[in-house]
Amino acid sequence: MYDWHTIVGTGAAIIMTALVVPYVRGVLREDTRPNPVSWFGWALLYAIAAAAQASKGLDWSLTIPVIGAFSASTVAVIALRAGKALWTPVDRFCIAVAILAIILWAITKEPLTALVLSIIADIAISIPTLYKTYLDPFSEPWLLWIIYVTTVVLEIIATTELTIYNLLVPLYSLGVDALITLFAFRQFIPTISQAHKKSLSD
């Protein structure tokens, strides 16, 4: 018989994976405008985090980096094929910082250090999307991000092994995802909403 950890973890994982479909549809419709730099970086970093976390044992919190790697790589490929790649100086700088952190991780080979370095790299990778979403809150689907944040919370709740290895990445991910959601919510600020409507009518 499954306990509540399994039920909550499985449900959240299914929802988290399913969110890729409406997000990709938004990209293809050009309603959603992701930054491929961030998404490719997230795919790589989630994979690293999953490997480091798995080395310390399997737990429901592991689904966050595993599904994150799959989802991020899917979105990145679709975004590139849709011609959404923008390589700004900020993007290049963030990529350089992320690569440096990944190289340091490869040198250390220590799980906790790998997790910390992956977070440092993730901060750099997340900056392009955070910056883009702040400037253009309409470029990200706020509802999907709310649902995603909720699933991350559920996965954390479903965690049975409350260790730094199992909680560090999910808690960090929760913070970044919540910030993106908050920036996307700026589209409801009257002045921003009116300016957006005016730009569409021009």
Burial bucket for residue 70 (CB in 10 Å: 0-12, 13-18, 19+): middle
What pLDDT tens digit does each residue of the chain (202 aa) get?
A: 557 777 777 777 788 788 888 998 998 888 888 888 888 888 877 777 677 666 666 665 666 677 778 888 888 888 777 665 566 777 777 778 777 877 777 677 677 777 787 788 888 888 889 988 999 999 999 999 999 899 888 878 877 777 777 778 778 888 999 999 999 999 888 777 776 666 655 5
Domain boundaries, the chain: 4-201
Position of tokens 């220590």? 110
pTM as predicted: 0.80
